Homo-oligomer: A and B are copies of this chain.
């Protein structure tokens, strides 16, 4: 899977006539080997430890590029930080967010997706993407 994304990104770069650089490789590795919901800042800080000369702007621009290439997706949990998550081909998942400890659980539910399509259809919409986030308290935090 990591392999696939690297390959996908390499192809995207090539097809667009862009350049493959050391920084992009480093950032991609860091992104792929991380938590699935990193903010730009978190990734930047993580990188800075080993690669102190990589600039914030590069991380910023590279993440945008990941999103454009389809291997990442921008998400907003409304805490004022843009995050990027991994996108596996064809896969889609939603989020369960613990408002107490911040844990994020991913889930999928086909029935919900089907109902969403129905809702959209009834309003003459064709869905491109969707976002479903459930906020609540996880079991651990309730104890």
Contact = CB atoms under 8 A, between A and B. Distances in A.
A105 B127 CA distance: 13
How often does this chain occur in the complex, in copies? 2
Nearest to A111: B115
Chain A interface size, under 10 / 10 to 19 / 20 to 34 / 35 or more? 20 to 34
Given A78-B76, A109-B115, A112-B116, A127 B123 contact: no
Choose among A96, A109, A142 the residue with the greatest number of B CB atoms under 10 Å from its CB.
A96
B132 A136 contact: no
Contacts of A116: 112, 132, 134
A90 to B, nearest CB: 18
Contacts of A129: 135-136
A98 interface: yes
A119 interface: yes
Contacts of A135: 127-131
A78 B125 CA distance: 20
Would you list the 3 A-B pairs with minimal beta carbon distance, nearest first? A124-B139, A127-B136, A130-B134
